[in-house]
Amino acid sequence: MILIQQNLINKSGDQKPLKKRAIPKSLTSRKFIINEMKKNILILFALCTVMTSYSQTEKGKMFIGGSVNLIGYSQASSYSQSYPNNDFSDETFTITPNFAYFIKNNLAIGASLDFRIGTNNQSANENINYSYSNKDRFVSYGIGGFTRYYIDISEKFKLYISGRINYDYQTSKMTSITNDSISNSSDDLLNNTTLSVSGGLVYFITPKLGLEASFGNIYYEYSYDKDKNSPSNYNSQSNYGINLNPSTLYLGLNYYF
């Protein structure tokens, strides 16, 4: 029991002690318990927040999954009666399975495979007596390595920044047709190495399934292209820049465990 002593001043000016008034111990104990419960709840909430933010991306965890990209483009034009029909179309499908391991909280390293298939068609009827078309078909296989760092936004959303290196081997066959007769045909081999940095967003549908999207990158690319039938015919080039082409839009799904 806690005691409180109060003093009063009597008429003569002397202090006269009053009886000590007691505060029930049960009341002070109740306040103490409530305060301690509040502290414990705050600590538990903070711990849960930290554990949730790291639950999918903490050290020792892994993820496996992949991403896809599908892009198509077509154009038709007519310049004049002399050039009545000019058509162009381009379609590419890419699938990229991947696997990664978290070497520390929010930081993962991994490997990926690439498979890409596409077509490119161009045709024109320049006049009644002359027409031509180009048909290009290609298949590409690749392997790559990447590192990815996650930034927590909320319980279900995370941003990430990824650095990647890729090597792709592509075969393509182009056929040119003039007035319904094959005028040219070539088989090309392309070796391509790319370094890139990109960003994306992950939404965790469940604690173990993450739906992600990425768009755009900063890149450096070196390619070496040669004609399979004429090895002396080759071309090498390098380029770099910021790529915001729709072909850089990837949607993916990963399983975290």
Q: Is the pLDDT of residue 35 over 90?
A: no
pLDDT of residue 81: 53
Identity at 39, one-letter amino acid code? K
Per DSSP, the residues of 156-218 read SEEEEEEEEEEEEEEEEEEEEEETTEEEEEEEEEEEEEEEEEEEEEEEESSSSEEEEEE--EE
What distance in Å separates the CA atoms of residue 18 and residue 64, rounded to the nearest whole number? 77
CA distances from 143 to 39, 98, 245 (A): 52, 10, 22
220-244 pLDDT, tens digit each: 999 998 877 777 778 899 999 999 9
Report CA dihedral (194, 167, 136, 124) to the nearest 10 degrees: 0
pLDDT of residue 11: 46
68-92 pLDDT, tens digit each: 999 887 877 665 555 556 777 889 9
Provide the terminal-to-terminal Cα distance of the chain, rounded to the nearest Å: 55
Q: Is the pLDDT of residue 6 over 60?
A: no
106-160 pLDDT, tens digit each: 999 999 999 999 998 887 766 656 676 788 899 999 999 999 999 999 989 999 9
pLDDT band at 2 (very low <50, low <70, confident <90, very high): very low
Sorted by where each starts, the structural domains of the chain and their CATH numbers stand as: 55-256 (2.40.160.20)
Q: Is the pLDDT of residue 45 over 60?
A: no
Q: Is the pLDDT of residue 105 over 90?
A: yes
161-212 pLDDT, tens digit each: 999 999 999 998 888 777 666 667 778 899 999 999 999 999 999 999 999 9
Contact indicator for 64, 98 with CB cutoff of 8 Å:
yes
Number of neighbours of residue 166 by Cβ within 10 angstroms: 19
Q: Is the pLDDT of residue 12 over 50?
A: no
* pTM (2 d.p.): 0.71
